Structure 1
């Protein structure tokens, strides 16, 4: 894991968009990362039925999710809003 990219232990479920939003920090810049419920379900290998369950699975899979986000940050794969989408 790249030590220049930090992931604070913060994550929020967005019910409307069905995503978990979590921050990354690189060289002092805050980068918003999002993982869709579909991607989280794929990584978990099981159906996720609620926001609470999504947050629990996010914590279980945190290391893998952060690695995926880190790869996208290093490759500068940002969407039009400047977010990293998984």
Structure 2
């Protein structure tokens, strides 16, 4: 749930510093209910059969703004965990590729 206090800097000098400080909780909230006691991650909303998922040979993250920067970090995690090449592209430029 969103409230007006989320739009305030909360004592931080800038919104960027606030967002950096908020990241651990944001990740924890995102993973809530998706990680079991053994550390296995379940993404029920990804409804791609295993057979098709095994055919993926590259991941492309298309994003803009701060999501693009998050995508650049995610690129390394995806490459590490999946052993697949991953690219991060600016959404405004992607259509010209």
Superposition TM-score tier, normalisation by shorter sequence: under 0.3
Choose between structure 1 and 2: higher helix proportion: 2
TM-score normalised by L of structure 2: 0.22
Kindly indicate whether structure 1 or structure 2 has the higher relative contact order, using CA contacts under 8 Å at least 6 residues apart: 1
The structure with the greater share of residues assigned to strand is 1
